[in-house]
Structures are given as structure tokens and as C-alpha cells.
Structure 1
Amino acid sequence: MPRTIPHLFESCASRFDINVMMMEKRGDSYHSSTYREIQVEVHRCASGLMSLGIVPGDRIGIISEGRNAWVVAELGVLYAGGISVPLSVKIEELSELKFRLAHAGCRMVFVSGTHVRKVMKVRGDLPDLETIILFDPNGPLAEDEIAFADLQDRGKAYLDIHRNVMDHRLDAVREYEPATICYTSGTTADPKGIVLTHRNYTANVEQCAKHLPQPEGFTSLLILPWDHSFAHTAGVYLLMTIGGTMASVQVGKSLLETLRNIPQNIGEVRPHFLLSVPALAKNFRKNIEKGIAAKGILVQKIFSKALAIAYEQYGDGWNGGGAFRKPRHPVFLLAETMIFRKIRASFGGRLEYFIGGAALLDIELQQFFYALGIPMFQGYGLTEAAPVVSANTPAKHKLGSSGTVMPGIEVKICDENGNALPVGEKGEILVKGENVMVGYWKNEKATSEALCGGWLHTGDIGYLDDDGFLFVLGREKSVLIGHDGEKYSPEGIEETIVAHSPYIEQMMLYNNQSPYTVGLLVPNKEAMVQWLTSRNLSSRTDEGQEKVLIMLQGEIDRYRLGKKGVFPERWLPAAIAVMGEGFTEQNRMLNSTLKMVRGRIAEFYRNRIDFAFTPEGKSIDNLQNKMIIRRMEERQG
């Protein structure tokens, strides 16, 4: 069988024809569609596109929340020999949307009702864009617009006459041809279009299936954006191979409303596993702890004690024997009956584990979910690798690591000169395998820098341990560089400080060959106002400003030598600049996977950073910090 995505789906639709493939909430309940039913829709979509003149190699964009039509549209594009260009629904800057559509040269674009206005605003600047296909038409359509339902009707009519034409087009798709162009999150000047072939995807699906076998019929609620390659491979395509079911989150009137639907939808879908990223994991934990706090001090004490018992027994999973054996301590058993079982029930009662990707996942966060009986297995990947490279599994895991490398993938750690390093030494992570991209769209320079001798230079720093587990320390471009040239990845410090301080919302460390490290600190304004109020202080007075700043300094100083001493002293911030505004996607200081866009943050706050390297700015109670604290309470009021 040809190793392309359409042929993979044809095989799965034949094997699992009556299995439920997709679940979509319409009104008050979820509706199911079988593999056979989705296959019929895909054939009609592909034929509809062909009737509109799509030819092999044409690029077609998709901008929509997760839904049945998303998968039907992408498969339809691929059946017709086209190239899918999945775009983030979180793109708000019209210039970014226009760049991607223009750079890819999209002839058509599928778009949901929530995002159609953005496309309409840039369509006049896109000479290649011929047709807009609307999932949710509202009102009369222009000449260059067509409703998705009408496209399907055209496809049905086309199939009745030209069935052999679509079959021929499908058979002509080759595994080495591009399937998607996925754009990076724009952490540099212009995002790069990552070209992934059909074989890149099918290879990674095979690798994942061998590494983490799943039984037929597993169900997942795909809560990550569907344009992410992680959701593509580990969600949509991997589920296909086991005849599994993929459910979409109920779409709200806004992104925030959609996110609020997730807990209820989890209970309705009752998934066997969930794909997650650190931001979602932290939000799940926050809600769990909020619920525990509402039950009173006794329940809180039992909960905390049970967690401590579980942390000690399980260790990192590997040194705990690698098996999931529950503690027999009476307090843990009490918590299991009173608390943990109910928490698992809130996730539908069938959830076996989370699979985590994207940014680094704090080990304590992993231990937390492990203790609850729904472990969160961290993996490592990047879109350029389609994307999964390594992952922890129920059978073999070490918390704090990114798991062992997938079968069929090679990983080596190299120094700055490209020399392979021995086990345990830190360097750049290089990846090789059939899953590795062919390059960046229209960017030979970036391609030659990323691919060398078949090896993908990831730009990530990490090491392999004696047991074969990969530890990812952070991005090479995000490392702190001391005045003596020594380097250090900041993510561990930032994550730990934020995770363990109720008063710090975000933290970015900065050191570019400087005498010391500076921390850009985004405070939790609500928590700080409560702290001030409980002490009869006000941020409008010098005393209140100084005391709250000293408190923030103390939150950092907990990690210095003589106290916790968890991190090297030189990389902890010697100066702190308190920020009046958080890092968000809206101000473009977080990308679509909620990672900090460090270059943009450093550039925007250049004056604050420069001031922090002066004698006056190094003091926590400098005038700039005081001014931010003063405004904080005014805005709360």
C-alpha cells in the first residue's frame, strides 16, 4: 500500500467502517460519525475541490476550530493532490495572516464563521487567493465564495459522473510529495513554512504506534489546536490506525468561551487519553486545587499528605520500579476514596493518561498527576520532525525526562562544532529519521542551516542518560550567556519560580554576556492586592510599595544558596524589573503554543532591561518598580 495519508485513511475506513471516527457537539449533545460516513464526505470534498479546478500541488489554507469539517477538508485537499496549509486560529495580526497565505500561495482557504472577517480583510492583498470556502455561511455569498455544504453537493454531482477521475487523482499521490506546510509560531522575524511530506506523517504515525500501542476504539477529546502537528499526528492520524474516536471541543462565541467548555466536554466524551501542553496541565491543576480548598482545611491536609506519600513512593517512576503500584498508607487510601477517585471521575472516569508536548513540563506537575492516578507522560518533538521524537509511556517512564526515543528515529547530542557527545553531556539535540521534514517552503538558507547530512538540527539543548531517556533543557536561542561565555537554559528556573509562588504570574530571565541576570517579573495582581489588604497596606503608599517589592524579592531569594539552593546563584536574577502587563498572545509576547517570544519581549522592554543593569535599577525598590506597583492597585480598583 502506498504510504500516503489518503491511502492510510482508505485502509482504516475499510477496516473500521462502522467504528465511530468523529464526535461533534451540536446543540446540547454530541453526534457521532462513522469511518464510512466520514469517508463519503472526504470523497465528496475532494471531488468538489477538483470541480473548482484544484490541481496537484495547489496550496489550500484551513482556518478553523476543531470540527468534523476540519478533518474532512484536510483529507479532501490531500485526496485531490493538494497541499494543506493549516493556520492557527490564534492569529490576530492581519499582517501575520496575510504573510502566511501569500507566502504559501494559497488558491483557496477553508474558514469558520469565527475567523471569516480576518480573511475578508486581507483578501484584496492576496492575488493568488481565488476562492473562500465557508464552513458557516451567513447571508449572501460573493462570487468568489462558496459554502462548504454546497462544495459537498458539487462533489457528489462530480463523483456521479467522474468517479474514475477522483480515483486516478488519489492513486497519483506519492509519499514523497508535500502534504502540509505548517508555519512556525513566529518567534523570529518571519515565520517559516515547514514542509512535511505524506511519508513524514505516516512514518511518525508508525513510530508512535510501536512506541505506545493503544487498543482499538480508544477515544480522545482533541483539546489542542488542530493546526498543530502534535494534534495532527498523535491525535487525528494515530487514532485512525486503531479505529479510534476523535471528539472536538464545543466551539463558543470566543476563544475563552471555547476553553471554558473543555471540562464539561471531557465529562461528556469520557476520553481514554488526552493530549496536553503545560499551560493546560497547569490550568487543570489550578482548578483541582481550587476545588480542594473549597472543601475545608481537613480535606486540604489529607490531600497534601496523600500527595507527599505518593511522591515518595513513586519517585520518578523509573526508580519507583516503573510500575504504577498504589501506596498502602492509610492516609493515601483515605484520599483515594474521598478525593482522588472523584477527581478522576471529573475527567470522565476512563482517562488513563495525558500525553504532554510543546514546552518543558515541570517534574512536580508530572508527580502531581501521577499521584492522582492519571499520569502525564512528557514527550519531545517539533514540527520539523512531524513532530514526535521521544515520549514516556506507561511501560517505561522517568518523570522529568522526555522519555525514550521512538523506534526508527536516531538522536544524538552534539557540541557547537557538530561533534557527538557522550552519554550525560549537554549539547544540541540532532534528529534523523523518515519523519524529518524536507525543508522550509521557499527558504533554502534556513533549510540548509537546519538539515545537514540528513540530521535535523533542532536548536534544543539536552542530554541522554544511561537508561536512554532524553532530557530537554531548553532552546539554544533562549540560553542565558554569562560575561565569561558560560551558558545556561533558563526554563527550569522560570518554571519553578512561577509554579511555587502565588504572587508571580510569569517570569523571563535575561543575560546576554552581562555581569548578572535580570528577571522580568509579571506579578499576580489579584494575589498581591490581597497580600497588601491583609496587612492593612496600600500600593499607593511608599511603605506598601516597598514591602510588597521586598516580598517579591523574597520569592526569588528562596532559591539562593543557604536556602533552597536549587539553582546556580549566578543565573538567579540579581535585578528584577516588575512588569505592568503580562506576556500574552494578543501582545505577541507568547506564541500559539504559549511559549514566550523572548526576542520580542527583550526588544520591547529594552529600556527596562538596560535600567536593571544600572546601580539604581538593580535595587528592587527602584522608582520604576514602585510606579508599576502603584498603578497595579489603581487598575484593580
Structure 2
Amino acid sequence: MREFSLPALYEVPAGASLPLLLDRNAERHPAEPVMARRAGAAGWADVTATEFRDQVRAVARGLIASGVEPGDRVALMARTRYEWSLLDFAIWYAGAVTVPVYETSSAEQLAWILADSGAVACVTETAGHRAAVESVRDRAPACTLLWTLDAGEEPGAGAVEALTRAGAAVTDEVLEQRRDTLGPDSTATLIYTSGTTGRPKGCMLSHRAFLADAGNVVRALEPLFRTGHSSVLLFLPLAHVFARLVQVACVMAPIRLGHVGDIKTLTEDLASFRPTTLLGVPRVFEKVYNSARAKAREGGKGGIFDRAAGTAIAYSRALDAPGRMPLGLRLRHALHDRLVYRRLRAVLGGRATHAISGGAALGERLGHFYRGIGFTVLEGYGLTESCAPTAFNPWDAPRIGTVGRPLPGSSVAIAEDGEVLLRGDHLFSGYWNNEAATAEAMTDGWYRTGDLGSLDDDGYLSLTGRKKEIIVTAGGKNVAPAVIEDRIRAHALISECMVVGDGRPFVAALITLDEEFLGRWAAEHGRAGLPREELLADPELLAAVQEAVDGGNAAVSRAESVRAFRVLPVPFSEESGHLTPSMKLKRHVVLKDYAGLIDELYGA
């Protein structure tokens, strides 16, 4: 077994807990902005460390007064917004456990999470969410308390206001006694895994796990977490562990944190908030690149953009090469910086120099493109069970194409069969009410991720796929779908790609198209107004999709390459049952629903 570890940069103190971060911030940085709330279309209103601490304490009092006891589970169903962070810390301050629920969850998913967690209370965002909870209350009898953030137009009717009023009589002594019931090994949250197969499992993450992970991230990426300077605009769902860990890291630093609940306004929000660091998933960075390229082509400047992109990639690659940067490349890079790169950075708010990306592979070419324009995307790797990042690229020594080195204070190992194993204080405590699943996931203190990968001599981790997703063709060839799927999906036209071929004579793929770029393609090629069925069968469109497939095939051997594909009439979605709330493919559902089409690919 090959293993690599790094010494801890942060040790969790005895008696530590997440709400104590707020008291520390109010003491050390009382007037420092730690949050920013939307203040209408005009901009943002800062919330100081003292103000945030006091608002959290007021809501926590309300939870206590309403009957929430230490260790009780409180569900939180809302989009990413300021109140999400406020309630999360208030639940912790009251000694309770947060159970995040995606606001897109179905009634069945909601019923399962509320019932399995035994949640005694639920805070929803809208009347629609509240109605969904009401509809499953008979299946979650413990859930007797229900509040709604946006409870109509009546002033003071919302959850925050109602809880603040309810807790007015709760004394500081009672509140602090409740806070002090917590310790590092108390459970902070139950996060239900997306469940690509079977029912989601409640992943128990302790205060220690969050503090160890966030503390070591903040220390290792110190230039990105400078109090009084740095800021993050959070637009990923806070129901996901990645966004949640970043929330904690921002409070721990502390730095200014803003929230965006609707990515349709993201461009305007970036321009007004002007963050110094972004976080996202590869699809976000792919869309930024593809949109910029499409707009350049529409304006007759496609050639300039492509030359600038090529220069950025070459410049980034040269940064990793021995010797001096060629003078000609430096001059071309300076020219394109004035013409193209600074405009792209302006789209990202104008101040951001780095981003943290996780969830899937960004791709080497895009990684070099972004670093070449002066915006370095640091890829990382983690799971719910590892409290998000368990590896990430150093800010000063990224190795593009890898997911970086282990979190300080943790270990990464590669088992004999290539599986990635993890160990450290940031790991989960187990699955809620599921000892069998916990035992299956752990071996001698190591968490078995199910991912396949390799470590180089410097400890940088590269991922190659999932053990359970390996396809074995009829010819006996093992194929890891992630490599080629990620490459195909990077094309502007492609939304999703799923490789098939288990037990078949060759590899094929099911492909869905990006609705925005499909419309652009149709307009550019004189196909606007065509019925969708005719458009998807258009030979020129299929040739463009074939280009995307050819680009993916270039990354793999001939035996692993996609020989045939079908464009599906509608995208995969959470509503269709083909994607999890975190946008992962439910492969078994796709295989079942499109079994006939897959047979057609092989002439069956």
C-alpha cells in the first residue's frame, strides 16, 4: 500500500466547538465584516463579527425556548442565503444538530430524511417547502416544530423574527450552558449522501471534523483567507458539504462571506460583491469559458479569443517547465492580457485570483487556460465522509491535472487494487443508525472511498474513476468512464455524457445537450425555429457532437474509445430521477430507463 501524509498545521483544541468561533471573532475582531447580506439590487450590507454573533445567539435562544434539546436534529431546507448560515450556527449554539435538505428534494426524499434523522423541527424557506413538509408529517412524527423563512408579507412573520421573539426570556446563562454541552466529538450535522444507489445514508460529521478540515485549509491556503482583505461569494448549495465547509472556513479565518441563491444573477452578483476567491464545480468554469468563447465568435472575434486561449495555455505550461519563459510568449501573453484576459477576470468580479474546484475533474487544458489568464483554479478532492476537501492543490505549487496533496494532518493511501483510502480527524463518525454500512466503509481506521487513483512521489493525487463504475467490455478491457466522460462533457454543446459497454463488444455513450448552447448553435447555423426532433437529428449538429466525442477519445486508448453515441431528446435532471441533488449521474437509473436505446446502439 502506497501512503502519503502531511503534518497538521492546525490542531483542534480540547473543548472546542463551532459556535465558539463566533465568540472568538466577536472578541478579537468585533467590527470586522464576516458576512454580507443582499441590500436590494444596489449592493451588499456588511454584518460585523459582533452583529453576527448576537443574531445567532438570539435565534438560538428561540430554538431553546421552543423546546429543542441538546443533540436534537433540526432540518434546514432552503437555498443558499444569509439566513442559512445564521440558522446553521444558531442550531449549533443551541447544542443541536443540523440536517440539511436540498430545496429541490422530492416529497419521498424529504420524508426519508426527516423520518430517518428523527428531526424534531424543520426550517423551510418558502410556503411551498412548508407544504411539502406538511404533506409528509405523518411519516415523520417527531417533527413537531416548523418555521418558514419567507412566511408571506406580514412583517415579523418569518422564522428568524419568530425565533428571536420566542427566545427573548432565555438568559445568557442558559444559552451558554447549552453551547457548552458541545465538544469536539459532538455531532454537528447529519448530511444525507445523494444516494446514486439505494436510500441516502446520514453521514455524521463532528465539530472536530469541521474544525480540523477548515483549520488546516485556512492555514495551508493562508493567502486566500486574509482577514480584512479576502472574501468569498458562495453560490453552491449549502446543503452540500463542500459549501458548508467553506462557510466554516470563512468564519474561522474570519473573512467576508456572501451568499447567492440563484445563479441566474451570478454575473451581476460577482460584479457587485467582487470576491477575491471563488469556489465551484468544473461545470461552472467550463460554462464561463464556453460562454466567453461563444460571445467572441458572435462578435466576429473568435479568432482573437482562440489565439488568446492558446497563448494562456502555453504560458501556464511554460510556468512548469525548466528554464526561462520565452520572450515571444511573454510578449504575446502581455498583449492578450490587455485585449482579452482582463475582461475575463472582470466577469469573475475583477479581484479574484484563485478558485477552489471540486466534485469532478476540471481537465488539464482548462486548468492551464485559467492559470494563464491570471486566475488559478486549485482542484481538490473530497467526499461527504471526509467533510469535503481531503486533498487540494497548494496555492503556490499547483500541479494541474491532479487533485493536489493530502490535507495537512491527514493521510491518503492507495490500496493494492488502486482504491483511494483516507485517514484523519476530518473523517465522519459513521452512518446514522447504520452500523453495517459504517463497518463496510472502514478498514483498520481507513475510509474506503470507492475511488481509484494514484500518488506521485511528491504526494499529489490523481484520480482515474470509481471502482463500481468500471466497465468490462466483452473483450475483457477495463474502462474507467470518468476520464472520457469528463473530456466529452467539456465541449460547449454537451451537458452530460454517460459511457456504457459493460459486457458489450465496444464502448458507447448516451449524450445530452446543453440547452443554452444548443440554442446558440441553432441560431449560428440557420436552424433556429426547427422542431426539436429535427434539430437533434441534424447531420451538422451530430457532426459537432462527434467532434466532442473525438476530443474525449484522444484521452484514452482505442479499446476504451467511444465508437457510437446517441443524443437523448431531453437532458438528465434531478426531476427525471437521473441526477442526484449534487448533480451526479444515477447510472443504474439511466441504464434501466434507456435499456432499449442502449440495445439499439449495439444492434440488439
TM-score (norm 2): 0.89
Task: Decide which of 199, 215, 219 is 2:226's aligned counterpart.
Answer: 215
8 Å contact from structure 1 (residues 220, 245) kept in 2: yes
8 Å contact from structure 2 (residues 96, 188) kept in 1: yes
Which residue in 1 is equivalent to 2:7? Answer: none
Give 1:125 deviation, angstroms: 3.1
Give the residue type in structure 2 aligned to 1:149: E
8 Å contact from structure 1 (residues 314, 320) kept in 2: no
Which residue in 2 is equivalent to 1:247? Answer: 258
SS in 2 for 1:446: helix
SS in 2 for 1:437: coil
Q: Residues 313-462 of structure 1 correspond to what in structure 2 (within 5 A)?
A: 313-315=315-317, 318-319=320-321, 329-416=330-417, 427-462=418-453
Q: Indicate whether 1:268 and 2:275 are aligned.
A: no
Give 1:447 deviation, angstroms: 0.7
Give the residue type in structure 2 aligned to 1:506: E
8 Å contact from structure 2 (residues 315, 372) kept in 1: no
Q: Indicate whether 1:104 and 2:113 are aligned.
A: no
Q: Provide closer, same or farther for how the CA distance between residues 329 and 211 of structure 1 changes in structure 2, counting only shifts above 3 A.
A: closer
Give the residue type in structure 2 aligned to 1:260: K
Which residue in 2 is equivalent to 1:46? Answer: 60
SS in 1 for 2:169: helix
8 Å contact from structure 1 (residues 6, 75) kept in 2: yes
Give the residue type in structure 2 aligned to 1:98: A
Q: Indicate whether 1:20 and 2:9 are aligned.
A: no
Which residue in 2 is equivalent to 1:121? Answer: 135
Give the residue type in structure 2 aligned to 1:182: I
Q: Provide closer, same or farther for how the CA distance between residues 485 and 207 of structure 1 changes in structure 2, counting only shifts above 3 A.
A: farther
Task: Decide which of 132, 145, 163 is 1:151's aligned counterpart.
Answer: 163
8 Å contact from structure 2 (residues 477, 559) kept in 1: no
Alignment gaps of 5+ in structure 1: 252-257, 417-426, 618-637
Give 1:316 deviation, angstroms: 8.0
Give 1:399 deviation, angstroms: 0.8
Give the residue type in structure 2 aligned to 1:246: L
Q: Residues 428-507 of structure 1 correspond to what in structure 2 (within 5 A)?
A: 428-483=419-474, 485-500=476-491, 503-507=493-497
Give 1:75 deviation, angstroms: 1.2
Which residue in 2 is equivalent to 1:518? Answer: 508
Task: Decide which of 17, 38, 46 is 1:32's aligned counterpart.
Answer: 46
Give 1:449 deviation, angstroms: 1.0
- Structure 2: how far apart are the matches of 1:177 and 1:489? 38
SS in 1 for 2:170: helix
Give 1:504 deviation, angstroms: 4.0
Give 1:384 deviation, angstroms: 0.3
Which residue in 2 is equivalent to 1:629? Answer: none
- Structure 1: how far apart are the matches of 2:264 and 2:538? 37
Range 41-50 or range 516-525, more displaced: 516-525
- Structure 2: how far apart are the matches of 1:599 and 1:246? 38
Which residue in 2 is equivalent to 1:135? Answer: 149
Task: Decide which of 581, 586, 592 is 1:597's aligned counterpart.
Answer: 586
8 Å contact from structure 1 (residues 439, 451) kept in 2: no
Which residue in 2 is equivalent to 1:196? Answer: 205
Q: Indicate whether 1:613 and 2:602 are aligned.
A: yes
SS in 2 for 1:196: strand
Give 1:170 deviation, angstroms: 1.4
Q: Provide closer, same or farther for how the CA distance between residues 283 and 309 of structure 1 changes in structure 2, counting only shifts above 3 A.
A: closer
Give 1:446 deviation, angstroms: 1.1
Tell me the alpha carbon deviations over residues 35-66 of structure 1, each in whole angstroms, 9 at most, x when there is no partner. 10111111111211111111111000011122
Tell me the alpha carbon deviations over residues 96-137 of structure 1, each in whole angstroms, 9 at most, x when there is no partner. 111111111110011112633322332343211111122121
Give the residue type in structure 1 aligned to 2:104: K
- Structure 1: how far apart are the matches of 2:346 and 2:548? 37
- Structure 2: how far apart are the matches of 1:274 and 1:316? 25
8 Å contact from structure 2 (residues 371, 377) kept in 1: yes
Tell me the alpha carbon deviations over residues 1-45 of structure 1, each in whole angstroms, 9 at most, x when there is no partner. 522112233222321211111111132231111110111111111
Q: Indicate whether 1:185 and 2:188 are aligned.
A: no
Q: Considering only aligned residues, what root-mean-square deviation do their CA atoms show, in Å?
A: 2.9
Q: Provide closer, same or farther for how the CA distance between residues 340 and 327 of structure 1 changes in structure 2, counting only shifts above 3 A.
A: farther
8 Å contact from structure 1 (residues 210, 407) kept in 2: no
Q: Provide closer, same or farther for how the CA distance between residues 95 and 324 of structure 1 changes in structure 2, counting only shifts above 3 A.
A: farther
Give 1:326 deviation, angstroms: 10
Tell me the alpha carbon deviations over residues 56-86 of structure 1, each in whole angstroms, 9 at most, x when there is no partner. 1100001112222212211111122111101
- Structure 2: how far apart are the matches of 1:527 and 1:294? 9
8 Å contact from structure 2 (residues 77, 102) kept in 1: yes
SS in 2 for 1:315: helix
Which residue in 2 is equivalent to 1:72? Answer: 86
Give the residue type in structure 2 aligned to 1:36: T
Give the residue type in structure 2 aligned to 1:350: R
- Structure 2: how far apart are the matches of 1:504 and 1:240? 37
8 Å contact from structure 2 (residues 218, 253) kept in 1: no
TM-score (norm 1): 0.85
- Structure 1: how far apart are the matches of 2:327 and 2:360? 29
- Structure 2: how far apart are the matches of 1:190 and 1:31? 41
- Structure 1: how far apart are the matches of 2:22 and 2:197? 35
- Structure 2: how far apart are the matches of 1:377 and 1:550? 34
Task: Decide which of 540, 550, 564 is 1:558's aligned counterpart.
Answer: 550
Q: Provide closer, same or farther for how the CA distance between residues 210 and 486 of structure 1 changes in structure 2, counting only shifts above 3 A.
A: farther
Give the residue type in structure 2 aligned to 1:15: R
Tell me the alpha carbon deviations over residues 510-530 of structure 1, each in whole angstroms, 9 at most, x when there is no partner. 122322222112246546756
Task: Decide which of 93, 108, 121 is 1:95's aligned counterpart.
Answer: 108
- Structure 2: how far apart are the matches of 1:42 and 1:553? 51
Which residue in 2 is equivalent to 1:56? Answer: 70
- Structure 1: how far apart are the matches of 2:318 and 2:577? 36
8 Å contact from structure 1 (residues 316, 399) kept in 2: no
- Structure 1: how far apart are the matches of 2:293 and 2:406? 34
SS in 1 for 2:498: strand
Task: Decide which of 289, 292, 295 is 1:291's aligned counterpart.
Answer: 295
- Structure 2: how far apart are the matches of 1:270 and 1:335? 23
Task: Decide which of 479, 499, 503 is 1:509's aligned counterpart.
Answer: 499
Give the residue type in structure 2 aligned to 1:591: T
Which residue in 1 is equivalent to 2:6? Answer: none
Give 1:175 deviation, angstroms: 1.2
- Structure 1: how far apart are the matches of 2:326 and 2:89? 42
Tell me the alpha carbon deviations over residues 488-533 of structure 1, each in whole angstroms, 9 at most, x when there is no partner. 2212212222324x55443210122322222112246546756875
Give 1:545 deviation, angstroms: 5.0
SS in 1 for 2:413: strand
Q: Indicate whether 1:584 and 2:573 are aligned.
A: yes
8 Å contact from structure 1 (residues 532, 538) kept in 2: no
Give the residue type in structure 2 aligned to 1:237: V
Q: Provide closer, same or farther for how the CA distance between residues 304 and 146 of structure 1 changes in structure 2, counting only shifts above 3 A.
A: closer
Give the residue type in structure 2 aligned to 1:558: D
Range 23-32 or range 437-446, more displaced: 23-32
Give the residue type in structure 1 aligned to 2:16: R
